[in-house]
Amino acid sequence: MTYNQLEINLDHDDLETDFDQCCDRDLTYPFIPFQIKRAWFSTKLDASFRDEADGSGGVVTPIKSFLHAVFWLLLFMCFGKKLEDDVVLKIETVLHDLTLRYPLSNLLSIFPRITKILFPRPCGELLELRRRREEVILRLIRDCRAAGRKPTISSIDSLLSLELPDGRKLEDKEILVLCAEFLNGGNATTSTTPQWVMANLVKNPGIQAKLHEEVSSVVGERAEVNEDDLTWMPYLKAVAMETLRRHPPSHLMLNHTAMDEDETLGGHAIPVKALINFMAREMGLEEKVWKEPLEFRPERFLPGGEGEEVDITRSKKKMSLWCRKKDLPWQ
């Protein structure tokens, strides 16, 4: 991992293991209740839709609203507090501009002197964007560090308390890189899923009517869906699962190191410590596992369907990064 041409010596597997252990330990400490996040996210999204509809004669383009609302939610999850509109806009803008300059950032990290000579003006703009990112995010990190342990914890609290294998704590600029990675990686991928849900519901009015009937029968005349209501909405969950199968946010998952012993998977030998990846899109379209895989059919995740035992948690068979050999659909 690099930061401003400096190498941050963090082993990915060790850091991930330590961070998981840190989160497991913090499970005994109350996290921000997700129903609070869900309600706040719904309010922000609804307000964004209404503002856009009022300014465009009732026409709404949901992409920008989804992106903005999801970014608000990720900031809330990361720092554990609601931020002012101007702060959110600053962070969203600077991270978006940095993402557009990602190829140049890689060049600058690998060949700093040559890149500065060949592209002086773009490099100057990139360094200014990094400075602005530090200015706004580092302030939040230092405020959280000064505030100490809160009644409920968030991602930043776990990072601040994380202890690396060499016994040291993460520095503020290292935490900044991890926070920026979390915000960048989660925004577009998370906002893409509800867009695909809406697209498929518009394309399949029969599925839309069935889902509407289920939600109406549970919620009744109430304007909002409560956390407890979701237990009684299996078709809603099936729609979400089918969306993730048919349109995964990422076609590839993060590389991970194989186990400490040789394995054979699907007829392929995997040596010790080899980097492996799961191709989520191809797994979701495997004809040996899914009937008519190109069709959007949520019923496959209901009792009796081929995806009944598939889940996104660690409790059942799953299409996730933590697949064990016996959990893979072709086994």
User: Where residue 158 sits, what CATH number does that domain have?
Assistant: 1.10.630.10
In a domain, residue 304? The reply is: yes
Domain count, the chain: 2
Residues 210 and 142 in one domain: no
What distance separates the 2 farthest-apart alpha carbons in the chain?
Answer: 65
Burial string for 213-248 (b: 16+ CB within 10 Å, else e) reads: ebbeebeeeeeebeeeeeeebebbbbbbbbbbbbbb
Our separate counts of H helices and E strands in the chain read 12, 8
Could you tell me the pLDDT band of residue 152, with boundaries at 50, 70 and 90? low
pLDDT of residue 296: 95
pLDDT of residue 5: 39
In a domain, residue 193? The reply is: no
Could you tell me the pLDDT band of residue 293, with boundaries at 50, 70 and 90? very high
* Torsion-angle region of 265 (φ positive above 0: left; ψ -120 to 50: alpha; else: beta): beta
115-135 pLDDT, tens digit each? 888 888 888 888 888 888 888
210-238 pLDDT, tens digit each? 999 999 999 988 877 887 888 899 999 99
Residue 42 has pLDDT above 70, yes or no: yes
Count CB neighbours of 179 within 10 A: 24
**Domain that residue 173 falls in:** 2-185
Residues 159 and 275 in one domain: no
Percentage, residues of the chain above pLDDT 70 = 80
Q: Lowest mean pLDDT: which of 202-206, 263-267, 285-289? A: 263-267
Could you tell me the pLDDT band of residue 205, with boundaries at 50, 70 and 90? very high
Residues 109 and 243 in one domain: no
In a domain, residue 63? The reply is: yes
pLDDT of residue 301: 93
Residue 51 has pLDDT above 60, yes or no: yes
pLDDT of residue 262: 78
Q: Lowest mean pLDDT: which of 17-26, 123-132, 147-156? A: 17-26
Count CB neighbours of 191 within 10 A: 22
Percentage, residues of the chain above pLDDT 90 = 16
CA dihedral 72, 214, 310, 296 (to 10 degrees): -90
